[in-house]
Amino acid sequence: MVKSVKELHGTAIEATDGNIGSVEDVYFDDQTGRIRYYVVDTGKWLPGRKVLIAPEAIRRPWHDGTGIPVNLTRAQVKSSPDVDTERPVSRDAELLLYTHYGWVPYWIEATLPPPPPKSASSVEEKREVESLVGDMRNSHLRSWREVKGYEIRASDGKAGTLEDLLIDPEEGRIRYLVVKTGEWLSHRHVLISPDRIAHVDWAESKIETNLSRDDVEKCPEHDSLHT
């Protein structure tokens, strides 16, 4: 079952010992479509603060409940590093976050000998994480708040605007882009796979696809899936 990112806004995040806030935004990898973080507004519990929760912390399955359960305590979240979600999240900030929770960062898992450890439980492992981080590529994190409303381009003209993202909560990745087509296709909402993205022009706020407008017209409509 897929979930709408827009509908996730305001969903409660439940730690093992109580509520820690609600979803405000989602960060994803612009190259792989992987969901990397849920931005959580801590509300009255920690006024004025937002924290990042990685999908690794989610207890599964969670898509049948009203909230998202995580394998974290309120104390762990309260003592987590501050991250300025109004600015791009730096790799250094990510490293501090993963070290705090004792996770092996997603960007170095492929460099570790198999089988990869599930968490950086020892001091030696954490030091290895820190020594490797300087060799990694820059982050490709993007937020939903940043990309919503982007123009979607077909190979032969404008196809619409980005209206929503549908994610697979079990796999933690984007399944479909929900595109509002505009007047040329009677304002339909169609589903386009991330695999059909050819290029993203961040400066111009445009997503270019390898589909023609005829191809877009043949895409399934948004209401063909239950979210």
Query: Which of 50, 21, 56 lies closest to 36 in space, CA to CA?
Result: 56
Residue 207 has pLDDT above 60, yes or no: yes
Cβ(8)–Cβ(23) below 8 Å: yes
Average of per-residue pLDDT across 111-139: 46
pLDDT of the residue at 66: 77
* pLDDT tens per residue, range 208-226: 999 999 999 999 998 755 4
| Candidate from 30-39, 52-61, 120-129 with smallest mean pLDDT | 120-129
Residue 184 has pLDDT above 70, yes or no: yes
Which domains are seen in the chain, by residue range?
A: 3-142 (2.30.30.240), 146-224 (2.30.30.240)
Strand, helix or coil for residue 152: strand
- Interacting residues of 115 by C-beta distance below 8 A, sequence separation 6+: none
Pairing mode, strands 68-69 and 197-201: unpaired
Backbone angles phi, psi at 28, to 5 degrees: -135, 160
pLDDT of the residue at 63: 66
pLDDT of the residue at 51: 95
Whose structure tokens read 């009677």?
186
